[in-house]
Amino acid sequence: MKAGTLEGLCEAAAKGMELDVKQILEAGVDVSDFDSKGLTPLMHAALNGHASVLNTLLEAGAPWNALDPSGRCAGDYALENEHQDAIEVLLNAGIRAELIFGAVERPCRKKGDAKNKVYLEERAEFSEGRLMDEESNAVMMEWENPLMAVHAKVVCSGGGDILNIGFGMGLVDTAIQSHDISSHTIIEAHPDVYARMLATGWGEIPNVRVIFGRWQDVLPQLGTYDGIFFDTFGEYYEDMREFHECLPRLLKKDGRYSFFNGMCGDNAFFHLVYCEIVKLELAALGIETEFIPIPVRHCLDEKIWKGVQHKYWQLDTYSVPFCYLSDEQNKDQTGNQ
């Protein structure tokens, strides 16, 4: 072993030799460097499932989210090799880092600014099986139909008044219409999508109310709902987080909520970190979250991405969020203890 070098640190991390790892770190080797194969010491420890070495490296400042040349992070190595303890350590590190980053960055965000202003002002084009923006980004694609059916089932599982944010190709709204519900409100912000909704008769369905505008701007026109689905385009996690803060006011008692869970759809471990973060943040609002896994590999033929700028989903399993007000929250609302 080349003591005091990065190669030495990677070898000690791979073998789980914690004392050697500590000594090499004390010698001043940069824990965030990549070896000749493009791997960090953290990736070597994750690949071999050495949880306590992972802790030592993280304490020394190893970045949990560094990517190797194939786009995998240390957590991906732990996941692929089913090293449960290592997954836990890295997951906690990722959650902690992202929660801190969000809290630091949030006060600098300009509230009220439309992050997708350009998209909303450009043309949106419907073609065979997809809705595209002018930059060849897929706004919505037909392959998501089975996922939208499950989202609709989740939000309509209690019947009643349903709210959907983002019409897109109308897949989820068509599925919502197949359930026994009282009313169905749809918010859509893009003029071309709105025009198509009207042209295809959505404005004339008796139990449907279409509201044109950004959800941020039309909130005062809304009531309370038994089921809510959220799926916009060109917005960020922080926008959805802002919407989540409105949920305790928008959801009726026993109301259900779901959202398009495309967070970090090109990296399995980052996706896992964000599923846990959203779960924690919803829990702080009194909302419980469970995930329903749906295998999607068979839906994702390489051909479907032809002409699409960014493959926004590359994972084998999609997790449908099933969210509901927790019992504690229900008790608070009804006054029963």
Nearest to 144, CA basis, from 102, 123, 116, 175: 175
Query: Residues 128, 130, 131, 132: is their CA dihedral positive or negative?
Result: negative
Computed on alpha carbons and rounded to an integer, the radius of gyration of the chain in Å comes to: 23
Per-residue binding letters, 7-36, with ligand SAM (x by CB under 6 A): ------------------------------
Nearest to 152, CA basis, from 229, 226, 208: 229
Least distance from ligand SAM to the Cβ atom of residue 223, Å:
17
Determine, following the binding rule CB under 6 A, whether residue 202 of this chain makes contact with ligand SAM: no
Total site size for ligand SAM, rule CB under 6 A: 24
Nearer to ligand SAM, 93 or 163 (CB): 163
Do 164 and 222 touch, CB atoms closer than 8 A? no
Distance of CA 167 to the CA centre of its chain: 19
Determine, following the binding rule CB under 6 A, whether residue 165 of this chain makes contact with ligand SAM: yes
Write the CB contacts of 23 (distance below 8 Å, at least 6 apart in sequence). 3
Listed ranges 92-100, 105-113, 162-170, 281-289: which one lies at the site for ligand SAM (CB under 6 A):
162-170
3-state secondary structure of 221: helix
Least distance from ligand SAM to the Cβ atom of residue 193, Å:
4
Determine, following the binding rule CB under 6 A, whether residue 133 of this chain makes contact with ligand SAM: no
Determine, following the binding rule CB under 6 A, whether residue 148 of this chain makes contact with ligand SAM: yes
What letter would DSSP give residue 51? H
Least distance from ligand SAM to the Cβ atom of residue 22, Å:
49
**Which residues within the stretch 228-247 sit at the binding site for ligand SAM (CB under 6 A)?**
231-233, 235
Per-residue binding letters, 33-72, with ligand SAM (x by CB under 6 A): ----------------------------------------
What letter would DSSP give residue 110? -
CA dist., res. 318 & res. 67, Å (int): 22
Q: How far is CA 79 from CA 97, 198, 270, 295, 322, in A?
A: 19, 46, 11, 17, 24
Least distance from ligand SAM to the Cβ atom of residue 126, Å:
10
Interface with ligand SAM (CB under 6 A), residue from 190, 196, 244, 256: 190
Interface with ligand SAM (CB under 6 A), residue from 8, 75, 170, 255: 170
Interface positions with ligand SAM (CB under 6 A): 116, 139-140, 148, 165-172, 187-190, 193, 214-216, 231-233, 235
